[in-house]
Structure 1
């Protein structure tokens, strides 16, 4: 074999290895986003991340009773704020399985940043989450802080009553969100 052929072969193998590494990184990011999507599109999240102005409730995503609406700031209509029924924490189990759940600052996203992701395919959900004009002007660092520390977000893993929690453990979700975010 000529020296040039050997060198060319080695370069191709090196480049091929580089592409394989990029493919593996892309696949890891896609797999991580599948976990993010599973969480965001669970009832605990999508019942409040709605395209319209009436939240959903229960695991079946039924229209919220009593004509509840988003309101001008996401905290309900004037005269019927979310806090009328939703306290700062879940009520005791003795209140029954269908008592209104609670968490600090119970609300919907604001009308300007609805972040509605019901039924969105993965690519559109990904774009919406990353788009600062639709996500409340959050960069990845702010998004990670939001999903890691926000007490209303954390409520999804302890929803009380007979509600199913988010289907992915919180630490796994945060880890996968960071992996996806790290890939850009």
Structure 2
């Protein structure tokens, strides 16, 4: 009886903020992923978005018969634009501080915001849920550099012409043309769009084809659609 009374008299240990975060945050990640899965069909793939009616990209050679250099440049960018305007890219180029997700660009679950560096806030960083690679069990996508594009590079709700002008403006793109080409053709975070995991529809074509189109667009004067 004495031992039982001593146990009952001991103060209960309360969990501090770090311990609570270690329990709650992973649970939020899994809950968000499961909620998304429950709201999407498990067997029927999502219909292709309007910006990417097929899963392929026309090669650069397909535009060689356009004699006018300016018109060829615009045509090349329109083809590359099928990637720029695909949900795999637009989800991380949101119009607000909150990312979107899925092929229909729903608001991100759980609720997260950009934060000062695009990688989330102190309360909930992107890398808390998004690990170094896609997680098959939960369906959570991943990359070691997972974050949102700068606010100046918001693409959602903008025309292809507006996106084109953003890309050519170093103050908004934060990239010169040579760096822009390297980014789209070689950056592994961009490359995730073709290896999104789960049941996500990848961007059309391949990253190499996309990079070739952007390179040809730059070489022909980098003209934008009207």
Deviates more, 1:120-129 or 1:81-90: 120-129
Structure 2 unaligned blocks of 5 or more: 1-64
Aligned to 1:89: 133
**Residue 180 in 1 paired to residue 217 in 2?**
yes
**Which consecutive aligned stretches of 4+ in structure 1 deviate over 2 angstroms post-superposition?**
none
Aligned to 1:106: 146
CA distance in 1 between counterparts of 2:155 and 2:79 reads: 15
**TM-score of the superposition, structure 1-length normalised?**
0.80
CA distance in 1 between counterparts of 2:199 and 2:66 reads: 44
Shift of 1:169: 2.3
Contact residue 72 and residue 110 of structure 1 kept, 8 A: no
Contact residue 130 and residue 141 of structure 2 kept, 8 A: yes
Aligned to 1:150: 187
Alignment of 1:16-27 (within 5 A): 24-27=68-71
Aligned to 2:124: 80
Root-mean-square deviation (CA), in Å? 1.7
Cα deviation per residue 1:113-164 (whole Å; 9 max; x = unaligned)?
3x1112322221111111001012x111000111112111110010000000
CA distance in 1 between counterparts of 2:134 and 2:187 reads: 16
**TM-score of the superposition, structure 2-length normalised?**
0.66
CA distance in 1 between counterparts of 2:160 and 2:199 reads: 29
Residue aligned with 2:194, SS: coil
CA distance in 2 between counterparts of 1:27 and 1:121 reads: 18
Aligned to 1:119: 157
Cα deviation per residue 1:79-106 (whole Å; 9 max; x = unaligned)?
20000100011123xx15xx21001210
- State how many pairs are aligned: 157
